[in-house]
Every structure is written in C-alpha cells, then in structure tokens.
C-alpha cells in the first residue's frame, strides 16, 4: 500500500520550484545570517543571565554573612556596655569601701609606732587620712607622714595606691598653680595704690608671686614625671632627671626626648610654661634661676 520513495521527488522538486519563484536566494541567505546573529545574541543573553543569577546568589550569601556579623557586633557592643557599667559599679563600690576603711583609721592609737623611715612615735594617734599621707598626733607634737614612709599594715588598711597618691598630689599642685596664676593676674590688673617712696613694693611682690608660681610648676612637672616613670619603668630606666630644675632635664629636649613614650608631650608643655614664667621672673630679677 505504501508509495515508493522515488515518487515523492517530483513533489519536492515542485516545492523548490515554487519557493525559488517566491523568494530570492540572496534574501534567503540574508535571513539565514540574521537568524544566526539573533540566535548568537540569545545565547549570549542566556549566558549573561546565568552569570547574573550566580552573582546574585553570591551577593545574597554575602548579605546573610553581613547580617550575621552585624548581629554579632551588636551583641558584642551590648556586652561591652554591660561590662563597662559593671566595672563602673565595682569601682564605685571600691571607692566607697576605701573611704570607709580610711575613715575607720581615724582615732586609732599606738603606744609606739615604728615608721619605715626609722622614726619612732610614742603615744601616737591617727587624726586624718588621705590618699597620700596620714596625720598623726604623738607625744612630741603633730606630724604628717607620707604613706610610703609609714608601715605595711597602715598602707594595707588604707588601701594605699602609689599611682592614686601621685594623681592626687598632681591635682593639688595644679590647683595651687591655677590659684597663684589667678592671683597674679588680679594683682597685675589692679596694682595696689601706694605712696611714691614704696613704688618698688609691687615689683618685689610680683617677684615673690612668680617664684611661688615657678616652684609650683616645677613640683607639678616632677610629680607628672614620677607618674610617667611608674607607668613606663623600662622606657625611662636610667634617664637623667634634674629634680631641682626639671625643665632643664635632657628628656624634655626636642632631640633627646624623641623616644616614643606616651605622656612626654605633656611634660614638654609644662616645661614651656616653666620657661615662660622663668623669663618673666628674670625680667624683674636677672639673678633668678
């Protein structure tokens, strides 16, 4: 019943003849080229789409990781804040405990009190306690002793801390320096009215004020240096320091003081202030040192 394949050849030939009569071969070739070009663009677009989807997936993974890191950071910041609050509360409790300990020492009596510096106080009674020293009334009078020179038991009872003592001493010295500077400014702004024969008195008064200010500034500089040396013992070991004229110490010189020790710049600023005061003093008293 099936037809022989060779009988379909005339039909195929007829179709080709019809197509050849409707479309030119050049136009057909152009359409084929355009079709191939479009197919290439479609393939490239599909490739770009696949690549973009891969990039999007990678970005989504990174975003998830970022969210995890951000959450962890927020948790860590919260823990840090809580730790800081706990530390602040503990410090407040310790300060209160230390104050109570020192207050409880007042009124304590000793038949004989042997100090670390070799002094012996008889019928001794503690009258006042601070971070730096203790006031003691004894058979021969009243004395104020630095805690470093008292006894291990007294230092333990008072929760003595050398750094705290240095800081308190520095604060007191700076306060005295500011008070002296303020008094000097007031006296210079409003010179006292005096008769002609005593015109030299204001100058003499200014000299004494400047000398007091210079001594306070030098004491403050020595105190800050001691605190810095306590914090940096290795870096400042063997450093030459002139306690009587600290502003002349080689450490504060711009060349020899170039070592990387945190706090040197503060000492150098104090040195500059001392030199300014010393220059004012020498204008009134050339022999001043």
pLDDT at 169: 85
pLDDT at 18: 46
Give dist(CA 275, CA 173) in Å, integer: 18
CA–CA–CA angle 256, 237, 248 (5° rounding): 40
Kindly calculate the radius of gyration of the chain based on its CA atoms and give it in whole angstroms. Answer: 45
Domain boundary assignment for the chain: 38-101, 106-157, 162-191+200-284
Sheet of 120-129, strand order: 109-114, 120-129, 133-138, 141-146
pLDDT at 180: 84
φ, ψ (nearest 5 deg) of residue 236: -105, 10
Q: Which of 270, 228, 276, 222 is nearest to 245 (CA)?
A: 222
pLDDT at 174: 86
pLDDT at 23: 58
Mean pLDDT of residues grouped by 10 in the chain (289 residues)? 47 48 75 91 93 92 93 92 92 92 94 92 94 93 91 93 88 86 77 49 69 88 86 81 87 57 77 86 80
C-beta of residue 138 within 8 angstroms of C-beta of residue 122: yes
Q: Which positions ≥6 away from 106 have C-beta within 8 Å?
A: 126, 127, 128, 129
Handedness of CA 100, 102, 103, 105 (dihedral sign): positive
pLDDT at 17: 47
Q: Which of 216, 239, 213 is nearest to 228 (CA)?
A: 239
Length of the chain: 289
Q: Class assignment of domain 106-157?
A: mainly beta
Q: Which of 107, 98, 112, 111 is nearest to 157 (CA)?
A: 98
């Amino acid at each position: 019943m099936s037809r022989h394949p060779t009988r379909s050849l005339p039909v195929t030939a007829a179709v080709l003849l019809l197509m050849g009569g409707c479309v030119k071969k050049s136009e057909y070739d152009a359409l084929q080229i355009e079709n191939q070009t479009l197919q290439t663009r479609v393939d490239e677009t599909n490739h770009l789409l696949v690549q973009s989807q891969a990039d999007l997936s990678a970005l989504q993974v990174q975003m998830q990781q970022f969210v995890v890191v951000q959450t962890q950071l927020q948790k860590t910041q919260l823990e840090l804040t809580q730790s800081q609050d706990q530390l602040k509360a503990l410090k407040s409790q310790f300060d209160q405990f230390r104050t109570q300990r020192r207050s409880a020492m007042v009124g304590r009596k000793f038949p004989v009190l042997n100090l670390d510096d070799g002094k012996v106080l008889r019928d001794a009674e503690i009258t006042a306690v601070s971070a730096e020293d203790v006031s003691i009334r004894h058979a021969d009078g009243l004395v104020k002793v630095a805690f470093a020179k008292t006894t291990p038991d007294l230092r333990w009872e008072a929760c003595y801390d050398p750094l705290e003592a240095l800081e308190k001493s520095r604060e007191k010295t700076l306060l005295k320096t500011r008070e002296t500077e303020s008094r000097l400014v007031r006296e210079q702004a409003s010179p006292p009215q005096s008769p002609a024969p005593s015109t030299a008195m204001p100058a003499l008064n200014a000299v004494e004020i400047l000398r007091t200010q210079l001594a306070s500034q030098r004491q403050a500089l020595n105190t800050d240096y001691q605190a810095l040396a306590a914090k940096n013992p290795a870096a400042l070991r063997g450093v030459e320091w002139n306690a009587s004229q600290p502003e002349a110490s080689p450490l504060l010189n711009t060349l020899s003081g170039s070592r990387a020790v945190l706090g040197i710049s503060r000492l150098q600023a104090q040195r500059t202030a001392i030199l300014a005061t010393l220059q004012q003093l020498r204008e009134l008293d050339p022999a001043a040192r």
